Structures are given as C-alpha cells and as structure tokens.
C-alpha cells in the first residue's frame, strides 16, 4: 500500500476581491481526515486564497512526506506545475508581457516544493459526487472568509467542517475529473505528458484582451471551476465569462 498521504486545500473570496480566506485538510494514507486549518486574508482575490491555501498546506507537511494534493483551482495547480518555467525565462512576465500576478506566493510555493514528492490532482468543485476532502477544505475556507477568524485542530477545533448541502450541487461546467500533475523530489515543473493531462477544456485568456468588465446578471461558473454570484464583477475570458483575476492564468 502507498505511504503517500492525501490532502486538499482551497481558497475563498466573498467577492473578487472581497473578504477572503484559505484552508487545508490532511488525511492519512487511507484518506481519513486527521487535521485541518483555516485562516483569514482580509480583502483579497480568489486566486490569492487558492495559492495561500497551497502554501500553508505545504508548510504543514514534513518535507520528506510524499503527499497527494487535491484542489479545485486549475490556476493554482498549473501555475506551479506547468507555467512557472516560462514565467522565470520571461523575467516573471506572462506571454502577454504583463507581470505575473501573485509572484511572491508562487515563488514561495516553488521553494516549498523543492526536494518534495508532491502529486497534484484536480477535482471539480461543488459536485454531489465530488471529493470529500476538497469539500471540507472548501467549507472551511468559506467559513473563515465570512468570520475572518482562524480555526483548525491546532486551535482546538477537533471536528471537521461539514460541507453544506447547498455547496454540493453539480457544477454546470468543469474540466474532466482526475487530471493530475506531479512535482517529484528535486524536479523542476515542466510541460510534457503529465502536464498535458491537467490541461483544462477551455483555454483561459487575459481579461485585458476583451477590455470589458461587467456585473454578472446571473450566477455562473468561471473557467477556473469556481462559481461567481449575481452582481459580482466578471470579465470575458476567451469564449466564456469569469473572475477578472483568472485572466492572470494566461501563460501563452
């Protein structure tokens, strides 16, 4: 049996930007949740929440521990497993010549991944048949975004957050389940077969190309897999609409 532990992380922002938070949950090799933590970020974007959640999770896992990280953020996962080499070569500029968003967080995660065996696995959010660990992390991040208070087993909160039923409805559009990428000990992120498997169904483009940001009349799902609410600001990302910051995922 594999000795790779299983973990999940998620970020949340009530508005984009808005009150934000991060959360992670760590299970044993059998997938049974053992410990979790969440923390507030004040006012931040959803992408900052997602990257911070991954950063805090890696800080909580001993460097020599093989771990599978489950997450519903295509942006955060691909930033550190696929796009990072090109960003470094381009002087931390995207293919469109813009500064890479959230660079300090990405650099911190890159350093934490050095000499670690980490397998990333994409899991769709808000699915009735979705990943249980991701649902726990999602709820913990959402609760912390609202309360702006830290929580977790280290603070005496022994029970796991229970995902609300309303947050377990099927996503209207999501990339294929189970896509994965990997960072093995001492390896740099790269493209190739493993990275290709994690490619989303729709390529995201920078909102600056469309130049239009509007308030959503109806709720929907961003290409990153996260939902946006009616009244929330959205931008045109390729052929779809989504969070303006998700256009930062354009790596070309």
The answer to whether the beta carbons of residues 32 and 2 sit under 8 Å apart is: no
pLDDT at 183: 59
CB contact at 8 A, 71 and 57? no
- 33 token code pair: 């949740």
pLDDT at 81: 93
Torsion, Cα of 81, 83, 87, 93 (10° steps): -140
Say if residues 209 and 191 touch (Cβ distance below 8 Å): no
32 vs 191, which has greater pLDDT? 32
Choice between 108 and 192, residue whose per-residue pLDDT is larger: 108
Query: According to the model, what pLDDT value does residue 247 have?
Result: 63
> Going along 45-85, which residue ranges are E strands?
67-71
- Cβ pair 213, 234 in contact under 8 A: yes
Active site residues: 10-11, 50, 72, 126, 138
Number of other CB atoms surrounding residue 34 within 10 Å: 12
The mean per-residue pLDDT over the stretch 158-167 comes to 74
Write a three-state SS string for 8-20: EEEEEECCCCEEE
Q: What are phi and psi for residue 60, nearest 5 degrees?
A: -85, -10
Percent of the chain surpassing pLDDT 70: 75
> What is the pTM assigned to this prediction?
0.70
């Amino acid at each position: 049996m594999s000795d790779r532990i299983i973990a999940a992380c998620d970020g949340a922002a009530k508005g984009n930007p808005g009150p934000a938070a991060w959360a992670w949950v760590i299970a044993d090799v059998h997938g049974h949740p053992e410990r979790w933590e969440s923390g507030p970020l004040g006012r931040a974007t959803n992408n900052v929440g997602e990257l911070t959640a991954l950063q805090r999770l890696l800080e909580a896992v001993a460097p020599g521990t093989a771990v599978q990280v489950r997450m519903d953020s295509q942006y955060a996962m691909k930033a550190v497993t696929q796009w990072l080499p090109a960003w470094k070569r381009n002087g931390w500029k995207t293919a469109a010549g813009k500064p890479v968003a959230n660079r300090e967080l990405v650099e911190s995660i890159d350093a934490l991944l050095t000499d670690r065996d980490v397998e990333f696995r994409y899991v769709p959010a808000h699915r009735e048949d979705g990943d249980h660990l991701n649902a726990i992390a999602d709820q913990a991040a959402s609760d912390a975004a609202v309360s702006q208070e830290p929580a977790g087993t280290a603070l005496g909160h022994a029970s796991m957050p229970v995902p609300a039923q309303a947050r377990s409805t099927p996503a209207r559009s999501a990339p294929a389940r189970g896509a994965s990428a990997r960072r093995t000990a001492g390896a740099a992120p790269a493209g190739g077969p493993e990275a290709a498997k994690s490619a989303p169904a729709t390529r995201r483009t920078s909102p600056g190309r469309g130049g239009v940001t509007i308030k959503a009349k109806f709720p929907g799902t961003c290409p990153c897999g996260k939902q946006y609410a009616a009244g929330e600001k959205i931008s045109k990302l390729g052929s779809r609409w989504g969070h303006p910051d998700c256009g930062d995922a354009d790596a070309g």
